[in-house]
Amino acid sequence: MARTDAFDVGSRMAETTPLLEVRDLRVRFRLSHRPEFFAVDGLSYTLERGRALGIVGESGSGKTIGVRALMGLLPKAAQVVSGTAVFSGRDLVTLPAPALRRIRGRDICMVFQNATEAMNPTLTIERQLTEHLIWHGICGRKEARDRAIEALGDVGLPDPAGTMRMYPFQLSGGMRQRAMIAMATVTRPSLLIADEPTTAVDVTVQRQILDLLGRLKADGMAIVMITHDLGVARSFCDDVTVMRYGQQVESGAIADVIDHPTHPYTRRLLESTPEIRRG
């Protein structure tokens, strides 16, 4: 792997403890119809508060499984077989399920690729947004409602109070995606994992979402962003790691990797998006 030794997201802040330190994470799949395989095979990175790491790579390279492993949200057939993921001093890999549940949805939240699958179709947007705030004891119902309305406004939904009364199926795809981002950020987690957050939305909404995530980052939120779009990574992330077949082939500061890719696979990814290199 190129630049591994130099890769330390936010190394300028090395004197502070990183918010998240993932070391040599390996996730194995055991399925009945095929030999076992490693969907993630040695993933390492460090992330500081207020920084964003992009994880890029083609479909099936292990990007999503790599972050789901941190959240304890792996499919049944998958298992973390080695490695550590230390978040605020605690290893998420070995943390008992109840302790992980207390962190998930409060300190670490995730924006999923597909809002329709991630949302509960039987609950109003209000219930979905206020649930974490109340369940985690962050605030009572009235304040939760105010915070939910504010979060819906922050993601650029035009009528936050009206949106609160709706069910997911009553929203357009772009509105649903924004409501999901509001759900993931309403607790102001210290770490946000965003899996292709702007893939399903048009360019204007994409800009709004990236602006919002940029403001949250400036306020100190750390963000892991999975994207196949190097343009999004370039405009938003401080650092990037490139994955292929479960392995990290190249990592470093985003501008370095884009301007001076060392791995042939990274060069191929860049060649397929020529507008990136023109800046």
Q: How far out from the chain centre does Cα 211 lie?
A: 16
* Cβ nearer to ligand ATP, comparing 23 with 228: 228
* Cβ nearer to ligand ATP, comparing 75 with 162: 75
Instruction: Name the token pair of 55.
Output: 């994880």
Using alpha carbons only, give the angle 251, 50, 249 rounded to the nearest 5 degrees.
10
- Residue 65: CB minimum distance to ligand ATP, A: 3
Closest CA to 256 of 275, 237, 272: 237
- Residue 55: CB minimum distance to ligand ATP, A: 8
The secondary structure element, H or E, covering residue 224 is strand 222-226
* Cβ nearer to ligand ATP, comparing 164 with 226: 226
* Cβ nearer to ligand ATP, comparing 42 with 153: 42
* Cβ nearer to ligand ATP, comparing 204 with 272: 272
Residues engaged in binding ligand ATP (CB under 6 A) = 29, 31, 39, 57, 59-65, 75, 77, 228
- Residue 137: CB minimum distance to ligand ATP, A: 33
CA-CA distance, 261 to 279, in Å (whole number)? 15
- Residue 223: CB minimum distance to ligand ATP, A: 17
* Cβ nearer to ligand ATP, comparing 186 with 230: 230
CA-CA distance, 204 to 259, in Å (whole number)? 27
DSSP characters over 26-74: EEEEEETTEEEEEEEEEEEEEE-TT-EEEEE-STTSSHHHHHHHHHT--
- Residue 44: CB minimum distance to ligand ATP, A: 16
- Residue 160: CB minimum distance to ligand ATP, A: 30
Alpha-helix residue ranges (DSSP H) falling in 155-273: 160-164, 173-185, 203-218, 230-236, 254-259, 264-271
